[in-house]
């Protein structure tokens, strides 16, 4: 007669019967307590979760991203602005510059800097000329934009604003010459006309595409008048 006493969940058998026995041992479920809940009252946590306020227990992860440079935050690309300046000052196609980038990739800070620089040069006795130049830049560009759209051009206001602003650079280049040759009226007039033609050509060659065809003079003329007005503000309003 065999003796098989029991002790809780275990049954002791004789060694002769142990050869015919087999089985598995299941591991109990172990709940790991997260470190984030270590400092919380489990009863309060359960209460809040049952009432739908579990979101109060959520902890936002810290943003470890490095702060971006100021120029990148303001979307200012100095290399791009410098390249556009060269495209405007040297509008001849033979120089190999991709001038269409001034129109196709417009920005705001470059033209604004050019307009402000021209405004500073044009103060020459009275400060209110600055507001006049900025106003003419904004509303003059709007007029050119509306006229271009009426004539069938596919341009945006941002593109026109950028091109008109950058194309003030030729007028900035000639202003030091006007200070030197101011006493020679004929030479001064020729330099002014050269600067206006230079600026108007730079702007018109970027804004006027093949879609205008025979309507090009209708857009070139107001651009030319706009830069004449800009130059007239050089000595004040």
Q: What is the tens place of the pLDDT at every residue in 123-175? A: 765 666 778 888 889 999 999 999 888 887 788 888 899 999 999 999 888 88
> Alpha-carbon distance 81 to 104, whole Å?
13
| HSE-up (13 A, CA, CB side) for residue 203 | 35
8 A C-beta contact, residue 207 and residue 167: no
Is pLDDT at 39 greater than 80 in this prediction? no
Helix locations, 74-214, DSSP H: 78-89, 100-104, 109-122, 129-150, 157-166, 169-180, 185-207
Dihedral angle over CA of 45, 46, 48, 50, nearest 10:
160
* CA angle, 63 then 66 then 68, to 5°: 120
Give the pLDDT confidence score for residue 233 in this predicted structure.
80
**Selection from 193, 168, 166, 145 nearest residue 97 by Cα:** 166
Q: End-to-end CA distance of the chain, in Å?
A: 125
Least confident interval from 66-80, 142-156, 178-192: 66-80
Confidence of residue 1 (pLDDT cuts 50, 70, 90): very low
CA 108 to chain centre: 9
Specify the pTM: 0.63
Give percent of the chain above pLDDT 90: 8
Q: Where are the domains of the chain?
A: 70-235
**Residue 7, SS3?**
strand
């Amino acid at each position: 007669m065999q003796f098989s006493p029991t002790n809780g969940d275990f049954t002791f058998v004789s060694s002769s019967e142990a050869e015919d026995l087999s089985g598995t041992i299941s591991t109990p479920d172990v709940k790991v307590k997260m470190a984030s809940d270590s400092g919380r009252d489990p009863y309060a946590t359960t209460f809040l979760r049952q009432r739908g306020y579990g979101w109060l227990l959520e902890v936002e992860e810290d943003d470890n991203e490095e702060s971006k440079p100021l120029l990148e935050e303001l979307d200012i690309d100095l290399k791009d602005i410098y390249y556009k300046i060269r495209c405007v000052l040297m509008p001849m196609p033979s120089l190999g510059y991709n001038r269409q980038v001034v129109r196709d990739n417009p920005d705001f800070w470059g033209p604004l800097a050019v307009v402000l620089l021209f405004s500073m040069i044009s103060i020459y006795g009275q400060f209110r000329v600055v507001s006049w130049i900025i106003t003419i830049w904004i509303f003059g560009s709007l007029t050119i934009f509306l006229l271009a759209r009426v004539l069938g051009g596919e341009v945006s206001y941002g593109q026109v604003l950028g091109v008109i602003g950058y194309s003030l650079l030729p007028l900035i280049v000639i202003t030091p010459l006007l200070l030197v040759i101011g006493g020679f009226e004929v030479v001064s007039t020729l330099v002014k006309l050269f600067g206006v033609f230079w600026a108007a050509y730079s702007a018109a060659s970027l804004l006027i595409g093949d879609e205008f065809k025979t309507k090009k003079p209708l857009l070139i003329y107001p651009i030319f008048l706009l830069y004449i007005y800009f130059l007239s503000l050089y000595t004040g309003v």
